[in-house]
Structure 1
Amino acid sequence: MKISIVCVGKIKEKFFRDAIDEYSKRLSRYSKLNIIEVADEMTPDGASAVWEDQIREKEGVRILAKLPQDALIVTLEIAGRNYSSEEFAAWIEDCSVRGKSHICFVIGGSLGLHNSVCKRADLALSFSKMTFPHQLMRVILCEQIYRAFRIIQHEPYHK
């Protein structure tokens, strides 16, 4: 299975990059991981709701341009569907059984995703009702994908 992550912005902190690199290395046993970064927009302090939507729209255009045509698109959204780790693993395995060989996860910028990107999704996925920094979310997503493949392979992994 091929996994892509389309995300807004670059990872600035070394500790986040190191964690992503570690999970990417671990995932290489199970899947080909491709991380595609698109440029983020600067959000001025006190930006109006209209201004923020324009920023999400600009980032959304960049995201949509990078989505693989052959992939199942999964957006990360607070209002998305919640899974346990086991349910998430079962969903990935089911995708594979149904002939879906490419899953693309989408992580928005600091303001979230534009509606045009959300409409393109085959699944809206939520890891929590809490808000996480988009850079940290990339680490969490990589870890959960790795955990899912360990579960699918019936391999031990810490709980």
Structure 2
Amino acid sequence: MLIQIIGVGKLKEKYLVLGIQEYAKRLAPYVKFQVLEVPDEKAPDSLSEAEVAQVKGREGERILALIKESAHVIALDIGGKLWSSEELAAEIDRLGTYGTSHVVFVIGGSHGLADDVVRRAQQRLSFGRMTLPHQLMRLVLVEQVYRAVKINRGEPYHK
């Protein structure tokens, strides 16, 4: 199975880059794994709703350009379903069992995801009502994907 995470913006913080690299290395024996980045849209701090929609729209176009037609897309969205680690593991296992070979998780930028990206997603996943920086969310998601793989294999890691 190929699992991709598409995120908006380039990671600059070394600790996040190193953390993601560590989990990607741990995932390598089990799945094909990639983190893809699309450039974030440069914009002033204070934007009107229409300007925010334009920013999200341009970022969304870049995201959609990277998603293959056959991919199963899971958008990270505050309005999405709350899953436990075990439920994420079960969903990844279910997708693989029913022939899905390509799963894409999508994390929006500081303004969130464009409506077109959310519509493209087959599922929406929430990590809770707390607001986290989208860059940090990449590391949290990679760790949860690794945890899910270990759960599905019945190997020690998850407690």
2:57 corresponds to 1:57: yes
Distance 2:69 2:9 in 1: 22
The residue aligned with 2:47 is: 47
The residue aligned with 1:2 is: 2
- How do 1:1-150 residues align onto structure 2 when only pairs under 5 Å count? 1-150=1-150
Q: TM-score w.r.t. structure 1 length?
A: 0.97
Report how far residue 158 of structure 1 moved: 4.5
Equivalent pair of 2:150/2:158 in contact (CA under 8 Å)? no
1:106-159 CA-to-partner distances (Å, cap 9, x unmatched) read 111111001011000000111111111110000001000000000000011143
| RMSD between aligned residues | 0.9
Equivalent residues, number: 159
Report how far residue 35 of structure 1 moved: 1.5
Q: TM-score w.r.t. structure 2 length?
A: 0.97
1:8-65 CA-to-partner distances (Å, cap 9, x unmatched) read 1110100000000000000111111111111101231221111111100010111111
> Which AA in structure 2 matches 1:20?
I
> Which AA in structure 2 matches 1:101?
S
Equivalent pair of 2:73/2:106 in contact (CA under 8 Å)? yes
Runs of 5+ consecutive residues of structure 1 not aligned to the other structure: none
Report the 3-state secondary structure (helix = DSSP H, G, I; strand = E; otherwise coil) of the residue aligned with 1:111.
Answer: coil
Distance 2:9 2:46 in 1: 21
Name the stretch that deviates more: 140-149 or 46-55. 46-55
Report the 3-state secondary structure (helix = DSSP H, G, I; strand = E; otherwise coil) of the residue aligned with 2:130.
Answer: coil
Report the 3-state secondary structure (helix = DSSP H, G, I; strand = E; otherwise coil) of the residue aligned with 1:140.
Answer: helix
Report the 3-state secondary structure (helix = DSSP H, G, I; strand = E; otherwise coil) of the residue aligned with 1:87.
Answer: helix
Name the stretch that deviates more: 119-128 or 38-47. 38-47
Structure 1 moving runs of 4+ over 2 Å: none
